[in-house]
Structure 1
Amino acid sequence: MAAAERAMCNLYRMTRGVAEIAHLFDVLPDAGANFAEEVYPGYTGLVVAEGRARAMTWGFPLVLKGRQGQPLKPKPVTNAREDKLLTGFWLPSFKTRRCLIPVTAWAEAEGRRGAMTRTWYNVEGLETMAVAGLWRPTPEWGDAYTMVMTEACSQMVEVHDRMPVILAPEHWKVWTDGSADDALRLCVTCDLTLQVDRTQERWAGEPTPPPEREPRLF
């Protein structure tokens, strides 16, 4: 399967606790914030937003209609392309609700269809990455978030043509509190060395969300 045809980042790990993340990002921890260590579309993950480490649902709900016009169950849109941030679906959140997503590592599917395995990526020597994100309140799932994606670095291009926007600590405040123009300039490919872990874990080896919540990419 060609890299561009594979689904975007639809699985990542976050192995640190709420208190650790709150300390790292110098924010307040939300008491009782629960989140999955391996986060799939539609699962609860940890997000840094509005000065707090908070639990939110991964994926903006996209509400579709059936053939008879009936509303269908919403699907989580987990990734936002950086070249689409100024379009209608993303623009309100990009202007006023940008967040940081703590990530230990993210996974991509690699191999032939039906036998894909998990390849994990993280920045070499960095225990926790800050990925650029957007969030918004939703009537369906409460507060929800999505990852911002940009062009893949040379270590990833054979697997996928996109990767998360990874922010350096000096850019965290610019992303969350700066102007939209300044934030857009941060949506570039990471130039740090990635650690790549090609495992024999089957891509579908763990519980996955039900079919109606499969992710989409805008």
Structure 2
Amino acid sequence: MCNLYTNKSTVQEMAALFRTSATYGFNAPTDVYPQYPGIVVREDQGQRILQQMTWGFPRHSVNKRTGKPNKPTATNNARDDKLWTIWRQWFTNPARRCLIPFTSFAEAEGKPGQMTRTWISVEDQPIAAWAALWRPTVEWGDAYTGVMVDATEELFHIHDRMPVILHPEAHEAWLRADAQEAMALVTQYPANQLAVERTSEPWFARKVQVSDGPTLI
């Protein structure tokens, strides 16, 4: 499961890469966590747009002790083997598919309580696109979730799942094709094109950063 990714590109760089308008009234966050804002690319009336949404579909539960509803949590990843079942209504509708621009994603490595961040980036795509789904929500406005597959053998020791990273020529199909064609894009990205960077940065050090600077939370 991916619970953190970074997008160091500017709105203008994303607009140029994904062929959208570059005029927007929001800042692009750098580090993105579940239930926090991130940027996606989707189609609206036949045109691509950049839109700020909340990462994660709301998931509801009931407190076993009190019987009262808990605060919603985020389902920020969608398993590939569930796309035809629990995710079907969004996956089979091209209008509910989107792209998540990112520059790297993080996984936790190490002993419990001492985990550090390991960053994985795409060597042949400085700004890559993660296949995703989106929908309107009452709780958080428009929200998105990223599609995951089994990790490659080379990355499996880091985590058993990885994002569905699309090749640039597949962007159009993910946003417009029927479900069968889109499903053919749900594959592992070649491991020899992924760079792994292990750091000493604690996994639990949460930071939200926008263009005006970082804010610790």
Normalising by structure 1, report the TM-score. 0.87
Number of corresponding residues: 200
The 3-state SS of whatever aligns with 1:160 is coil
Q: 1:56 to 1:158 in 2, by over 3 A?
A: same
CA distance in 2, matches of 1:34, 1:91: 32
2:199 aligned with 1:199: yes
Structure-2 residue corresponding to 1:12: 5
Q: Is the deviation greater in 77-86 or in 148-157?
A: 148-157
RMSD: 1.4
The 3-state SS of whatever aligns with 2:92 is helix
Superposed CA deviations along residues 128-184 of structure 1, whole A, max 9, x for unmatched, are 111100000000000000100011113311011110001011110110100011111
CA distance in 2, matches of 1:162, 1:128: 21
Structure-2 residue corresponding to 1:37: 30
CA distance in 1, matches of 2:36, 2:177: 29
Identical amino acids, percent of aligned pairs: 48
Structure-2 residue corresponding to 1:28: 21
Distance apart, 1:63 and its partner CA: 1.6
Map 1:11-160; keep pairs closer than 5 Å. 11-29=4-22, 31-50=24-43, 51-67=48-64, 68-88=66-86, 90-96=87-93, 97-160=96-159
| Paired residues of 1:36 and 1:43 also in contact (CA < 8 A) | no
Q: 1:118 to 1:23 in 2, by over 3 A?
A: same
The letter for the 1-side match of 2:81 is D
The letter for the 2-side match of 1:99 is C
The letter for the 2-side match of 1:127 is P
Distance apart, 1:30 and its partner CA: 5.5
Superposed CA deviations along residues 45-89 of structure 1, whole A, max 9, x for unmatched, are 00001110110000000122223542221111000011111113x
The letter for the 1-side match of 2:151 is A
